[in-house]
Structure 1
Amino acid sequence: MAEPRRVTVVGYDAAELLDIACVTSALESANWQGASPPYKVRLATPGGNPITCGTGLTLQAQTTLERVTGPLDTLVVSGGIGHEEAACNPVIVAHVRRLARESRRISSVCTGASILAAAGLLDGRRATTHWQWARRLADRHPEVAVDPGPIFIRDGNTSTAAGVTSALDLTLAFIEEDNGADVARRVARQLVTYLQRPGNQAQMSMFTATRPSENTLVKQVVDRITGDLSGDLGTVALAAGAGVSERHLTRLFLKHLGQTPGRFVRRARTEAAAHLLLSTSLPMTGVAARCGFGTAETLRQAFVDRYGVSPSHYRSTQASA
């Protein structure tokens, strides 16, 4: 039997429990689903001490960070509200840097990217982190090309996941890379989640983000857009419905949403189409019509622009059945 794939997850006080659990649970599930060779996952902490997670729960370490030696298959650095203190801890940073040299694959979850950056492991690379911390990471480490958009980024043998549950998406990508799509699909079904969201899918959807409340008119127009995607949502029609000029409406959208009405509509329609592709069996023409795209080809162009893949590819690879 082949040697197990050794995976070390680095934790510390005030790490995020979900950052750790998404990785460990998915890999253990992969073992149940026939991963070969199996994963041998260990949580390593400074001194091998128990850690109190940001949620207040205590986790017992399985090994001592300072005593872990390679070769490792995968190194995962978790994030959490304690990440800044961890990134300033010379012991943690030094051992993460050491273990990275002995690992086939290096990764971080959420704000764990700040620890990789402190170790110099993201220099000259594209990386992501939780959108709330992206600006701070970019300011502190200008040598890192921080992109707050995608849910995960893979640059060479180094991967960074955006935040919390995106750890599951990245781990599923690792499982598929190691064992094939069938094992990854079975794990996703076991965990009752998507096979995996594409790495370039946006961290925040306009349907889950907070709607603008500073401007009543903008909120009314947004409500109209998201409430009837198949209607006439051209800037002329939206401005007329709001009783303002096209120029004024565009100025308000740029101020409060950072994009023009046309771009907002295109994004809303594309995200709605992504949902329909996975939740219904509608043909492409039906999805396009329901979301306000004139033709399936128009839908395809918008989808490729937004997600980097065609609608048909997205449906075939993301369906969990």
Structure 2
Amino acid sequence: MDAPKTIACLIYPDVMSLDVTGPLQVFASANDERQRQGLPPSYRLLVLGPQAGAIATSAGVQLLAEQAWEQTDATHIDTLLIPGGAGEQQQCQNPQLLSWLRAAEPRVRRLGSVCSGALILAAAGLLDGRRATTHWADVGRLREAHPQVEVQGDCLHTYSADDPGGDAHIFTSAGVTAGIDLALALVEADLGRAMALTVARRLVMFLRRPGGQAQFSALLAPDPSRIPRLAALLDWIPAHLADDLSVEALAAQACMAPRTLSRVFVEELGMGPGRYVERIRLETARHLLQNANASISTVARLTGFGHPENLRRAFHKHLSVSPQAYAERFA
């Protein structure tokens, strides 16, 4: 009989409690399901801190670290998770922790992050040349501070046991509850899809969102003071989604040459104008399907997709779900 795999999660002062407890509960629930089937547990859960004892989270409640990470032999860890939280920035400047993570990386089978924990892995140099994501609010910070990381800001997680586009060794996940999606993917890789779906049902979760699915979060415009050349145009776009929003039309509105506008978009937003417009249209369509009693054809017309088929393709491309299925699940 195989020994249980050790799933270790790092905690530190002002860590986000749900980044820790959410993923760990998935593994604990997998153990519960196996017990119901008369099988031994698959996982041993381990919480590591700067020292053994209680650590205050950003929510004010305390979590108990079983032992100090510095005194932990990483060869005994199967999967190591690094959560995010308000205390993440201080950990990014903790040379002892970063050194320990670099030493642990080749010794553990899987090393992943939840939410802004990706910035800790990046600070240790472990995401260089790799795809990575994080909470949508921290994507810009990750991209700016670590240009050598291939930041994928609109996916739930970058783990994949068999997809060449993913990574089975070092991976990241987006904000908060995306860590639960990541943990379900890890359980599926270990114990099969049936077990992952059983755990998801037990936790009353969406039955496993794919890692490449976009984060369901509002696409907020950046602070206007940081994008002075685009601020007026970005305010104008949402009110004209059904209009011609080609690069040429946007350039005329912004009083720039098309090539200049494209360059400024990439410099200030990290994407071209066409991709930005598509995301604004998609976000607006998502909002209408969630909150308005509108047909899919009406939503497609109002948001500039024109035909419902164009809307369907955009939803499948970015959200891995059809507009109809999205409305049924989230309206």
Q: Unaligned regions of 5+ residues in structure 1, if any?
A: 226-232, 239-245, 277-286
Give the deviation of 1:273 after TM superposition: 9.9
- Work out whether residues 235 and 262 of structure 1, in 8 Å CA contact, stay in contact via their aligned partners in 2: no
Change (3 A) 1:251 1:151: farther
**TM-score under structure 1 normalisation?**
0.73
CA shift for structure 1 position 144: 1.5
Superposition CA RMSD, Å: 4.1
Residue of structure 2 in register with 1:241 after alignment: none
- Cα 1:18–1:81 change in 2 (3 A) is same
Q: Distance in 1 between matches of 2:61 and 2:213?
A: 31
1:21 aligns to what? 21
CA distance in 2, matches of 1:217, 1:66: 51
Is 1:234–1:262's contact at 8 Å kept on the other side of the alignment?
Answer: no
Q: Within the alignment, does 1:263 sit opposite 2:271 as a pair?
A: no
Give the Å deviation of 1:269. 7.3
Q: Please, which of 68, 71, 86 is the counterpart of residue 72 of structure 2?
A: 68
Structure 1 Cα separation of the partners of residues 273 and 62 of structure 2:
44
Contact 1:172 1:195 in 2 (8 A): no
| Pairing of 1:152-163 with structure 2 (within 5 A) | 152-154=157-159, 155-156=166-167, 157-163=169-175
Shift of 1:105: 0.8
Alpha carbons 2:129, 2:149 under 8 Å: kept: yes
CA contact (8 A) 2:233 2:254 kept: no
In the TM superposition, what whole-angstrom CA distance separates every residue of 1:134-159 from its partner, at most 9, and x where no partner exists? Answer: 22222322222223222222342111
How far apart, CA to CA, are the structure 2 residues paired with 1:164 and 1:98? 26
- Rounded to whole Å, the distance in 2 between the matches of 1:234 and 1:289 is 13
Q: Deviations over 1:194-249 (max 9, x none)?
A: 1222222333434x869x99x99998995x89xxxxxxx7427x9xxxxxxx8799
Counterpart among 184, 198, 205 of residue 196 in structure 2: 184
Displacement of 1:107: 0.1
Partner Cα distance (2:217, 2:19) in 1: 21
Q: Identity over the aligned pairs, expressed in percent? A: 33
Q: Deviation of residue 117 (structure 1)?
A: 1.5
What amino acid is the match of 1:160? T
* CA–CA separation in structure 1 for the residues paired with 2:132 and 2:190: 22
CA contact (8 A) 1:43 1:63 kept: yes
Identify the residue that residue 168 of structure 1 maps to in structure 2.
Answer: 180
Residues 1:54 and 1:289: Cα distance change in structure 2 (over 3 Å): same
- Residue 168 of structure 1: CA displacement? 0.8
Match of 2:58 in 1: 54
Letter in 1 for 2:19: D
Instruction: Specify the code of the residue in structure 2 equivalent to 1:263.
Output: E
Q: What amino acid does structure 2 have at the position aligned with 1:121?
A: L
**Residue 74 (structure 1) shift:** 0.6
Residues 156, 214 of structure 2: 8 Å contact kept: yes
Q: Which moved more, 1:89-98 or 1:33-42?
A: 33-42
Counterparts in 2 of 1:7-156, with a 5 A limit?
Answer: 7-34=7-34, 38-69=42-73, 70-154=75-159, 155-156=166-167
Structure 2: runs of 5+ lacking an equivalent: 160-165, 225-230, 256-260
Q: 1:123 to 1:171 in 2, by over 3 A?
A: same
Q: 1:259–1:4: structure 2 CA closer, same or farther, 3 Å change rule?
A: same
In structure 1, how many angstroms separate the alpha carbons of the residues matched to 2:170 and 2:290?
30
Q: Distance in 2 between matches of 1:80 and 1:264?
A: 27
Pairwise CA distance, 1:178: 1.3
Shift of residue 44, structure 1, vs aligned partner: 0.5
Q: What TM-score results when the alignment is normalised by the length of structure 2?
A: 0.71
Q: Residues 53 and 66 of structure 2 are in contact (CA less than 8 Å); yes or no, is this contact kept in structure 1? A: no
Asked whether the equivalents of residues 289 and 299 of structure 2 are also in contact (C-alpha less than 8 Å), the reply is: no
